[in-house]
A and B are shown apart, each in its own frame.
Chain A
Amino acid sequence: MKKSFFVLLGILVTTWIVAFSMTGQEVINQVINQNSDFKNQKIEMNMKISENGQVDSYTLFIYIYNKSTDQKYALIRFVSPESIKGMSFLSLGSNDEYLYMPAYHRIERIAGSSKNSKFAGSDFTFNDLSLLYAQEQNANYDLISKSATCYILEVTSKPNTNFEYSKLIMTIEIDHMLPQKVEFYKGTSLYKTMICKDLTNFDGHWSYKQIDMKMADGSSETRLEIENIQSNIDIPESFFSVRTLFEPNLNY
């Protein structure tokens, strides 16, 4: 069954959850159950970063492999622009991550603590992206309101966890159980907001096509445009290895 990219955004929120309030847990469980039953997935997307009037555009493929409930593999490869074509990130777990630099034909292991840094200069952090395919359990989750069309959830970090936001306020659309809007807070101030638009059916699976992350101070904005999502396309586990990173063209 083909699943949307938004499944992963749902998982994003759940990753910080350790002890759900009952209502919150039910909601997030439903988000996960309804959208994450795939073995492997390929997402093709464009990423546009706007800052100081300058727009940088990238095309990238994200490959995900559900090794087990607790362990997911992911490989991100940039395919354009030409200057960084082949640049890749491989995650085989939270402390087993690699970076491939095609111009050097080298792989460097990268540290987990850098995951709070910006991903490719975007307004998403490595953590935001890595949480798409790997669950962590270091946050509290509460349902703070409910309407006919959506749930509003509050996600707060547990003490002494490596989570850079003080809380997330997440709006989940009830019909498809997909996150529609996420507000990221630092301290008491809104830090950035993610808004999803254009609900689309990708081969029987619902997902938003456009995800905008806007910094609250207006300094920058990142837009993810989902071009295609393919699930369960028989990507083998061995694909998620350092050897694959050296391949100039991927088989999937």
Chain B
Amino acid sequence: MPKLGTWIAKHRILIIVLFVGVTIFMGYQAMKIKIVDDITTYVPQNNPENLFLKNVLDNFKMNNLVLVGLEYKDLFSKSSIQNISDLTNGLSKMKDVTSVMSLTNAPWITNVNGSMEISTISKSIPQTSNQSAALEYEVTHSPIFKGQFVSPNGKSTIILVGLPNFTNPASSISITKKIETFIKNNSTAEKIYFSGLSPSDVYAQSIAIHNISILIPLALLAIALVLLLSFRNLIGFALPLISVIMSSIWVLGTIHLLGMTMTLADVAMPIIVIALGNAYGIYIVNKYMEEGDSDHVVRTSNTLRDIGIAISLSAFTVIIAFLSLLTVGIDPIRYFGIFTALGIFYALIINIIFTPAVSSFYCKNVSQSKGEISFWSKIAKNILKHRLSSMIIAIAIVAGISIFIYKVSPDMSLNKLVGNNNSIGHSMNFFNDQFGGSDFVIVDFKGNALDPYLLRSEILISNYAENNFKVVGGSYSLARVIQNMNDKFNGQNYIPSSDSKIQNLWFLMKGSNLSEIVNSGATESIVLLRVNVESSKKIKALQDSLTDFINSNIYKRYSYVNLDSASPVEVKSAILSMENYVTDYMKSLNLDYNSTDIDSIVSRILLSSNETVLSKDATNLVNYLTDMIGSYGMISGFSTSDLRMALLDTFKEGYSNKTLEDNLNSKIGPDNTSMISPVIESQDSVLAQIARKDYAKSLLSNVKGLSDEEVNNLSWTLSSRKIPVYDPNGSNSFDVKLTGVPILTNYVSSIIINDQCESMIISIILVFVLLMIQTNSWLMGLIGIFPVLLTMIVNFGIMGIFGISLNAINITIASMTVGVGVDYVIQIFSRFRIEYGRSNGISDAIIKTFSTSGKGLLLNSISSSAGFAMFFFSTIGGLKQFAILTISTMIISLVLVIILLPSLLSFLREDFLNKKFKKERVK
């Protein structure tokens, strides 16, 4: 080190020119840095959870989904609907937009003057206020559109825009900005909001740039003020500042040179480098100014001789602490660790080489103030006097705070990280308030998407999620669309168990925009559950419960039993299956039920013969048939009453084609009979199902809690004769799995705790080894690491007290704590080593150590805290929490080091210290 000091002093101009040149180059690179915050990049790209999500998003063109929220003065007016239609068309034509789904292009099934229409709202834009009112009523009462495309209050709408899975995040940001510009220029909405990964990236970039541009100058100003007040000379305050500015510029430039981007959490990185790195400058400048020699070469050499090793050790412990984040299985956090460590390394290099080179132009000597020495002597004396009680009180306080550690939980969600007071927060609030969520949990079904049981499972799962979890704002699925279609076309609000019925409905939907919920081959489909992601705990609860519900209640392999031709064993299993289905249905609606009653109802419905149910429902069936014949315009040449009479007689005599034709012939004549009898005869199976449905309805209407709509749904379901039953050897099967960005976020959160523990253990072990090497004693290593450990415990306790979650930013706090705490320990051990050699005993050495190092440590703590305090001015909520943790780390770490180290050192025996620090004593 002395030789290095001499060399630096001799080549100081060359060094200054070189470092300034590198800084200019790196500064130019740093200006081009990009910020991208995509949760899918938080886990390795080959991670199975990540791969599965990407695969699902690819299949359903939902990669990079942009949610556009529009709030209109009058959403259903002609101009607003036209505007949404124009926006939808305009977005569809934009290059790189893979899909657009909106109120105006989603399949819209409606009844126009008694005629069914499968179309889109864009093709029947209301022209009058009455038409607008009618459209509003229909949309806000549609299970497909309400909550999905239109807010339940009918004020706002959503346009979902799909983008490709760009390999280059810049492309994604670029197209998102074009979409935002297009919407802002063409929309007549009063308020516009954007959500989704890409808009979040755009916002993250602007928020990050805004925060960096404000926080760095503020942090520098705060540190400058502290340094100016402490040193009261230009060199003392300017050099530590310049060194950390250069370090930050270098590390940002390096990131860009390596072709990498920053995440939102990385906003903290330059501030950390500034706050921690300035200490090295303070130590160097402080020591240089204490040197009495007038020759700048000697002063520089002596400075590095006395504190060069200590500063290097201190920096390396911080570097090790941040590199311990490499054990975290989340890429951006690993990079955060690497680049923060690199920033500290740059700070060390700059302070070891550049700072002394500049300092060497300064010739004055500044000696320590006696008042300050006296103050720190008193502190040290008092602690030594009450060493045992001091230690007990400190440990007791730590123990008290540690009680709250249990409240700490991980939460990697973006909204928790950024908070509410910014564009991302405002958008999320809009989607949460108006639509019950801003993101989607996806239930992926791999199997025949048109299989009746699979579709019913989609309904069960959607119902369960919507009725049992407040975080779920609504759902959208193929099953909902088919059920709605069946209701509109046939008045049967349920999923039929007949393949051909579903195929008929599916055929009518061909050409409709359903690519977001079913793939082109109908071999995979998804249920989209819109969720409020404000609480990852609630999302986790939803995930766990849904998984349990699916595992417990949904058959993955099954077969169908036809009750009209089933064996007794098959009938038994069919009844059991439907009993389970009805109870699951009740569970999904969050209703209490009596299993015995349900079992009894199901058995009675399924075991009744066709003849029995037909005879019970004759009047209804006659009405059904007469209405049907009438609606086809076939009542001509005979009266409705004659037809009714013929039909009633047929049911009285026992329904068959022969009795039907006999009665029709006698009441309406042979010609009319030949005209309508084929139509009526085609209704055989329909009549039996209607009769069974009516019977089921009469029984189910007594079940408490079920609404009319739910009774209707269950009645139709129970009227089917084709029943899905669990069958491990069945030919039908499908797989169900949950995925989605909120699920991936939870996965990331779940790996954080383990990774955090691992990273802490590794950093503590490595730092312990470093301390052991420095002091040549494992006992000294243990003494040194003890206050650091206690600081970490206090920090987690503080997180519990303030309800701060572990996220991408504050996961680094453990590394910070180790780095900062050990820095203090190394400075004290380093000084104690010297003072012990010059003193007459342990107590004397301790007092002198604190007399000489106390001011530097306090200054370091205050200046770093001042830097971190600037996080309070951030618009990113996570950084404000980080400020609490970093400042408490700086203060608590210093307090514990001051209290515990003198006390612990004073317990050591002199012969032990003589042996360890022999050389220093001889010197």
Which A residues contact B (CB, under 8 angstroms)? 51-54, 56, 78, 83-84, 87, 97, 99, 101-114, 116-122, 189, 242-243, 246-247
- B568 at interface (Cβ–Cβ under 8 A)? no
Q: Is B726 an interface residue (CB 8 A)?
A: no
Contacts of B541 in A (CB 8 A): none
The residue that B634 contacts in the complex, of A83, A97, A242, with Cβ under 8 A, is A242
Q: What B residues does A243 contact at CB under 8 A? A: 632, 634, 675-676, 678-679
Distance in angstroms from A95 CB to nearest chain B CB is: 8
Contacts of A118 in B (CB 8 A): 510-512
A130 shortest CB reach to chain B, Å: 14
Contacts of A54 in B (CB 8 A): 520-521
Distance between A100 CB and nearest chain B CB, rounded to angstroms: 10
| Given contacts A99-B116, A106-B490, A111-B117, A246 and B679 within 8 Å (CB-CB) | yes
| Given A105-B683, A113-B117: A242 touches B510 (CB 8 Å cut-off) | no
Q: Is the CB of B682 within 8 A of A103?
A: no
Q: Evaluate contact between B520 and A110: CB separation under 8 angstroms.
A: no
Q: Which 9 A-B pairs have the closest CB atoms?
A: A121-B510, A118-B511, A111-B117, A83-B503, A103-B500, A111-B115, A111-B112, A52-B520, A121-B511
Q: Are A87 and B634 in contact (CB under 8 A)?
A: no
Question: Which of chain A's residues have a CB closer than 8 A to the CB of B510?
Answer: 56, 118, 120-122
Give the residue of A83, A107, A114, A122 whose beta carbon is less than 8 angstroms from that of B119.
A114
B675 and A246 form a contact (CB under 8 A): no
A88 to chain B, nearest CB (A): 11
* CB contact between A102 and one of B118, B500, B631, B632 (< 8 Å): that residue: B500
Identify the interface centre among B521, B682, B683: most chain A CB within 10 Å of its CB.
B682
Q: Measured between C-beta atoms, what is the minimum distance from B824 to chain A in Å?
A: 63
Q: List 19 A-B contacts (CB under 8 A).
A: A54-B521, A87-B507, A103-B501, A104-B501, A106-B490, A106-B686, A107-B632, A109-B114, A109-B116, A111-B117, A111-B119, A112-B115, A113-B117, A117-B511, A118-B512, A122-B510, A189-B93, A243-B679, A247-B678
Tell me if B731 counts as interface (CB < 8 A to partner A). no
Q: A103-B498, A109-B114 are in contact. Are A117 and B123 (CB under 8 A)?
A: yes
B637 interfacial contact with A, CB 8 Å: no
Q: How far is the CB of B632 from chain A (nearest CB, A)?
A: 5
Q: Evaluate contact between A87 and B504: CB separation under 8 angstroms.
A: yes
Residue B508 at the chain A interface, CB threshold 8 Å:
yes
- Report whether B116 and A120 are in contact in the complex, using a CB–CB cutoff of 8 Å: no
Q: Does B45 contact A (CB under 8 A)?
A: no
Q: Which of A53, A56, A106, A114 has the most CB of B within 10 A?
A: A114
The main secondary structure of chain B at its interface with chain A is mixed
B511: which of A99, A113, A119 is its contact (CB, 8 Å)?
A119
Contact indicator A116/B119 (Cβ below 8 Å): yes
Query: What residues of chain B lie closer than 8 Å to A247, measured between beta carbons?
Result: 678
Q: Which of B116, B631, B633 contacts A110 (CB 8 A)?
A: B116
Given A103-B498, A103-B503, A113-B124, decide whether A246 and B682 contact each other with a Cβ distance below 8 A. Answer: yes
Q: Within the complex, what minimum Cβ distance (angstroms) separates B867 from chain A?
A: 55
Residues of chain B in range 584-640 having any CB-CB distance to chain A below 8 Å = 631-634
Closest to B450 in A: A83
A108 to B486, CA, bound (A): 12
Question: How many residues of chain B have a CB within 8 Å of chain A?
Answer: 40
Is A110 in contact with B117, judged by CB distance below 8 angstroms?
yes
Task: Report the separation of the CA atoms of residues A113 and B120 in the bound assembly, to the nearest whole angstrom.
Answer: 10
Q: How far is the CA of A217 from the CA of B208 in the complex (A)?
A: 39
Residues of B within 8 A of A51 (CB): 520
**How far is A53 from B520 in the complex, measured between Cα atoms in Å?**
9
Contact residues in A for B115 (Cβ distance below 8 Å):
97, 108-112
Q: Tell me what chain A mostly uses at the interface: helix, strand, loop, or mixed.
A: mixed
Chain B residues positioned under 8 Å from A84 (CB to CB): 503-504, 507
- For B503, the closest partner residue in chain A by CB is A83
Is B489 among interface residues, defined by CB-CB distance under 8 A?
yes
Q: Which of B112, B489, B678, B686 is close to A113, meaning CB atoms less than 8 Å apart? A: B112
Spell out B's residues near A (CB within 8 Å). 93, 112-120, 123-124, 489-490, 498-501, 503-505, 507-508, 510-512, 520-521, 631-634, 675-676, 678-679, 682-683, 685-686
Query: How many Å from the CB of B22 to the closest CB on chain A?
Result: 51
- Nearest B residue (CB) for A53: B520
Nearest B residue (CB) for A78 = B507
Q: A84-B507, A101-B489 are in contact. Are A113 and B114 (CB under 8 A)?
A: no
Residue of B118, B499, B634 near A114 (CB, 8 A) is: B118
Closest to B119 in A: A114
- Name the contact of A242 in the complex, choosing from B93, B500, B508, B633 (C-beta under 8 A): B633
User: Which residue from chain B places its CB closest to the CB of A52 in the assembled complex?
Assistant: B520
**B206 vs chain A, min Cβ distance (A):** 33
Q: Write the nearest CB–CB distance from A84 to chain B, whole angstroms.
A: 5
> Nearest chain-B residue to A85 (Cβ)?
B500
The answer to whether A242 touches B489 (Cβ under 8 A) is: no
- A107: nearest chain-B partner, CB-CB: B632
State the Cβ distance, B369 to closest chain A Cβ, in Å: 79
Q: A87 CA to B509 CA in the complex, in Å?
A: 13
Q: Which residues of A contact B521 (CB under 8 A)?
A: 54
Residues of chain A lying within 8 A (CB to CB) of residue B505: 101
Evaluate whether A113 and B500 lie within 8 angstroms (CB atoms) in the complex, with A105-B682, A120-B510 already known: no
Given contacts A78-B507, A101-B490, A120-B511, 15 further A-B pairs with CB under 8 A are A84-B503, A101-B504, A102-B500, A102-B504, A104-B686, A105-B683, A108-B489, A113-B117, A118-B510, A119-B511, A189-B93, A242-B634, A243-B634, A243-B675, A246-B678
Measured in the bound complex, the distance between the Cα atoms of B504 and A113 in whole Å is 21
Nearest A residue to B515 by beta-carbon distance? A52
- Determine how close the nearest CB of chain A comes to the CB of B186; give it in whole angstroms: 15
Kindly list chain B residues whose C-beta atoms are within 8 Å of the C-beta of A107: 632
Q: Bound complex: CA of A84 vs CA of B505, how far in Å?
A: 9
CA distance A78 to B114 in the complex (A): 25
Residues of B within 8 A of A112 (CB): 115
Contacts of B499 in A (CB 8 A): 83
* A113: chain B residues within 8 A (beta carbon): 112, 117, 119, 123-124
**B685: chain A residues within 8 A (beta carbon):** 105
Residue of A nearest to B486 (CB): A104
Please give the distance in Å from B29's CB to the nearest CB on chain A: 41
Distance from A24 Cβ to chain B, minimum over Cβ atoms (Å): 28
A103 to B113 Cα, complex, angstroms: 25
Complex Cα spacing A52 to B632, Å: 39
Chain A residue nearest to B124 in the complex (CB)? A113
Give the distance in Å from the alpha carbon of A35 to the alpha carbon of B521 in the complex: 39
Q: How distant is B100 from chain A, measured CB to nearest CB, in Å?
A: 13
Q: With A117-B123, A246-B678 as known contacts, state yes or no: A111 contacts B507, CB within 8 Å.
A: no
**Residue in A closest to B116 when the chains form the complex, CB atoms:** A108
- B507–A120 contact, CB under 8 A? yes
Cβ of B678: which chain A residues have Cβ within 8 Å of it? 243, 246-247
In this complex, the member of A52, A56, A121, A122 whose beta carbon has the largest number of chain B beta carbons within 10 angstroms is A121
List, in ascending order, chain A residues with CB within 8 A of B124's CB.
113
**Cross-chain contact of A83 among B117, B500, B675, B686 (Cβ < 8 A):** B500
Contacts of B500 in A (CB 8 A): 83, 102-103
Least Cβ distance of A162 to chain B in Å?
A: 9
- Quick one: closest A residue to B675, CB to CB? A243
